[in-house]
Structure 1
Amino acid sequence: MPPEPRSGEPVVVAHLSDLHLGAHHQDAVDGLAADVAAARPHLTVVTGDCTMRARTAEFRQVRELLDRLPGPVLTVTGNHDLPLLSARRVLDPYGRFRSWIDADLDPVVRIPGLTALGLQSMPRWRWKNGRVTGEQAGAVRRVLGGAPPGDVRLLALHHPPLATGTARIIGRRRLLGAVRDARVDLVLAGHTHVPDVRAGHRSRPVFVVAGTATSHRIRGIGRSWSLITVDRGAIVVGERFLGPDGWHTGRVVSFPQLSAETS
């Protein structure tokens, strides 16, 4: 059974993204689950692009990897998890994801000390970039805004909400408004293959973009995943990189605890 955080103990989250199984580096896949398990996370989050081309064989590989990761595991879709050019994209774009990964496209995970919500940010009518609906923004307010006092409030989606220009997510304003109203602590995303950490107003929420954990598309950065620890309200994000001798910690970014006056 996965560990559950005890009262007053840190909450640990493993954040993976952009696995792109089907266009992956096998050594990265082979060692990833063990490295994540060694961190003993209370929750593992995978923010989309699990597959390269949404093929059945690729989803089967994803399922095998997810079953090796420490649970519970919260997984959302990315743009590569929808069929690229076929009638299936119109008629049943999420069918394989639902069958192999999770029937709920906006999943909720609740464990002691943590409430997490995932959003399906990839509509079938968009080629690459995402959107968040008014209904989903309402779910952020309802699920995360209604979390028990003291819970870490975590939101996960594939597309980074702070992206601008042509990468700007449709519904960004309503999403960020809901994040603020719900007092979200962590917003996790992927998509760029480049790890990034930044904070909102008064250090909340902390926005974490994980790099690609296992794919060939490393964009000069290397393969990585993010390890997040929340201890008495302070948030620490460590980036785990794959090197010649295995996984190791690279950059570590810390954000202080919010006082009651500023929370």
Structure 2
Amino acid sequence: MSVVVAHLSDLHLGADDPRAVESIVDDVARARPALTVVTGDSTMRARTGEFRRVRELLDALPGPLLTVTGNHDLPLVSWRRVLRPYRRYRRWMDTDLDPDRQVLGLTALGLQSMPRWRWKNGRVSARQAAMVVRVLGGAPAGDLRLLALHHPPLAIGTARILGRDRLLDAIRAARVDLVLAGHTHVPEVRAFRPGGPVFVVAGTSVSRRTRHDIGCSWSLISAHESEVVVRERYLRDDRWVTGRIVTVPRI
């Protein structure tokens, strides 16, 4: 059985490219994903108007949806960051900060990797690591096991997330197949051995905050019994085209 996942990230509504916003829904819809995942930084500055626009975009994308917070989805500098850091996110996006979804052939879990007391880089708690083992480790036999969070778990140096080791231990214990992240605005696919987890970082899907002249992009993931195929979709001359294709063996 094949499972198709649309992976978007770093929308940054409020610093967006109107061409990308206007065209991405149709491009994602043509893929007919079983799940659409958005790995954080959906807004630029966590303003109400930005969240309202994000909600409109998400409602137009094919569901079901799984979204998580990014560092830009918390108020930047205000009393709200201290007292009500996730209030607008919960109102407009999802009341559950660590949501899970189950569709035919797929069990997915999202983690809130942006605590209010961190400025940019992320953290995964012991409670969340245990949740990975419980939810994804307990998935039905044969399900694709998908974990989503904003911060790439494999980042090193100053970008390394707190709790990285316990998260990677949990990923191994739960036999996670796909780990989806964003934050860097640069698409990437990494896998270390057949049958192990495939780590996919999506680029910035509809924002002007591009890096290395890559432009807007999102990742279309097809998981088959024997392989995972990641097709990176890029906005070129007002239309979406497939760029790099990465195939990773599962067995």
Normalising by structure 2, report the TM-score.
0.98
State which of 83, 86, 95 in structure 1 corresponds to 2:78.
86
Which residue matches 1:248? 241
The match for 1:165 is: 157
- CA distance in structure 2 between the aligned counterparts of 1:29 and 1:21, rounded to whole angstroms: 9
Cα deviation, residue 112, structure 1: 1.3
Q: Which residue of 1 aligns with 2:189?
A: 197
Is it true that 1:176 corresponds to 2:172 in the alignment? no
Distance 1:209 1:37 in 2: 20
SS at match of 1:228: strand
Which amino acid is the alignment partner of residue 214 of structure 2?
Answer: I
Q: Which runs of 5+ in 1 are unaligned?
A: 1-7, 259-263
Contact 2:194 2:249 in 1 (8 A): no
2-structure distance, mates of 1:80, 1:111: 29
Contact kept in structure 2, 1:123 and 1:130, CA below 8 Å: yes
Q: Contact between 2:99 and 2:109, CA under 8 Å: does it hold in 1?
A: yes
Contact kept, 8 Å, 1:21 with 1:50, in 2: the verdict is yes
Deviation string, structure 1 residues 48-88 (Cα, Å, up to 9, x no partner): 00000000000000000000000000000000000000000
Q: Do the aligned residues in 1 keep the contact of 2:19 with 2:238 (CA within 8 Å)?
A: no
SS in 1 for 2:194: helix
Q: Kindly report which structure 2 residues correspond to 1:1-263, keeping only aligned pairs within 5 A, or say none.
A: 8=1, 10-219=2-211, 220-258=213-251
SS at match of 1:202: coil
Q: Contact 1:18 / 1:215 at 8 angstroms: preserved in 2?
A: yes
3-state SS, counterpart of residue 65 of structure 1:
helix
| Deviation of 1:192 (Å) | 0.2
Q: Secondary structure at the match of 1:59?
A: helix
User: Would you say the 8 A contact 1:155–1:187 is kept in 2?
Assistant: yes
Partner AA of 1:63 in structure 2: R
Q: Counterpart in 2 of 1:261?
A: none
Q: In the TM superposition, what whole-angstrom CA distance separates every residue of 1:215-259 from its partner, at most 9, and x where no partner exists? A: 11111211100000011141000000000040000000001131x
The CA RMSD over aligned residues, in Å, is 0.8
CA distance in 2, matches of 1:148, 1:216: 40
